[in-house]
Chains A and B, each alone.
Chain A
Amino acid sequence: QKEVEQNSGPLSVPEGAIASLNCTYSDRGSQSFFWYRQYSGKSPELIMSIYSNGDKEDGRFTAQLNKASQYVSLLIRDSQPSDSATYLCAVNYGAGGTSYGKLTFGQGTILTVHP
């Protein structure tokens, strides 16, 4: 059973702080990793994708991937109240080409940014 685990929340940070969201996955064959943001009552919105070890930055967001440790994280700098949402980590397990396109999600971490 391929699993994706996210750090238990909820996570509360003050406005302007760095929010750190973490995710581990069970299968070393994983090929691609995604972070989605989901506001209450809405659908998931893709905010970051990462495929290679290291960091990837997009505005206030930085995704970090360490395939050896089977770990992916999302940092949100200068957190704003509008960042308050559930953050979902998703992994695309690419086992021999038979699992392509299937995303396995973690349970999500609720982030609250307070003024």
Chain B
Amino acid sequence: DAGVTQSPTHLIKTRGQQVTLRCSPKSGHDTVSWYQQALGQGPQFIFQYYEEEERQRGNFPDRFSGHQFPNYSSELNVNALLLGDSALYLCASSPRPGYYNEQFFGPGTRLTVL
């Protein structure tokens, strides 16, 4: 049973560029959430997708956008990259949105902005 997968593993970009990160949820899961984890901090919620719609959003600017496809996979796009966007980007999947559903994380994408 495949777990959550993410690509790429690592990425190096320069300020002002745009980046797209990809995530495939665990088999049987249809909800995808994205988190940003800066070094030494806990993950911070970016947004959640369910039924191809953004259902919730954290305190992130509009430069952060996403998409969910009919096969439940998801993309995170970040425009006009800033140095402060350097972080580990984590995708988590769950069976459906809800108070009790456990979220399982993928291996993450390490983004470095120079």
User: Residues on A close to B: CB < 8 A?
Assistant: 4, 31-32, 34, 36, 42-46, 49, 51, 88, 90, 92, 94, 98-108
Contacts and interface: CB of A to CB of B under 8 A. Distances in A.
Given A43-B90, A43-B107, A46-B103, A102 B41 contact: no
Interface of B: 31, 33, 35, 40-45, 48, 50, 55-56, 58, 88, 90, 92, 94, 97-108
A95 to B, nearest CB: 10
Nearest to B96: A101
Contact of B56 (A45, A46, A98): A98
A44 B56 contact: no
Contacts of A45: 105
B94 A101 contact: yes
The 4 closest A-B pairs by CB, nearest first: A105-B42, A31-B99, A101-B97, A94-B99
Given A43-B105, A44-B90, A46-B104, A103 B99 contact: no
17 contacts: A36-B105, A42-B107, A43-B88, A43-B108, A44-B105, A45-B105, A88-B42, A94-B99, A100-B98, A101-B33, A101-B50, A103-B33, A103-B35, A105-B42, A107-B40, A107-B41, A107-B42
